[in-house]
Structure 1
Amino acid sequence: MDTTATIIFIIAAFSLGIIIILQRDKIPASMRRGFAIASIVFIAFAFFLIVYSLTTMGS
């Protein structure tokens, strides 16, 4: 598994979540729900990658 790409994805997913939370007033209402769902999916996958990398670290 390429750790550099994984780390970049994790940082990008959490950054997107922070940006969506901080800038929620400036996002149009029609796009807000889609951005929120996409952020949740990306952050959940980032958590999965963190847990997966921790469980496969010894092997």
Structure 2
Amino acid sequence: MNNESLVIYIIAVLCLGAVLIMSKDRMPQRFKRGMALTAVIMIALAFVFIIYSLLA
């Protein structure tokens, strides 16, 4: 796996999570659940990629 792409993905996902946490009060109610679920899945996938890159 390309480590440079992995680092860029992890930084982007963590920034997305931070933006969602900081803007949760201004977001319409109908988007909150979907965006939070998407962010959780992407962050979990980033940690799986980190573990995979350490073991590979």
TM-score for both structures, normalised by structure 2 = 0.94
Equivalent residue runs for 1:1-59 within 5 Å? 1-56=1-56
- Consecutive unaligned residues in structure 1, runs of 5 or more: none
Separation in 2, partners of 1:53, 1:45: 12
C-alpha displacement of 1:2: 1.1
Aligned structure 1 segments of 4 or more residues deviating by more than 6 angstroms: none
CA RMSD of aligned residues (A): 0.6
| Paired positions, count | 56
Tell me: higher relative CO, structure 1 or 2? Use CA pairs within 8 A at least 6 residues apart: 2
**Greater fraction helix:** 2
Structure number with bigger Rg:
1
Matched-pair identity in %: 38
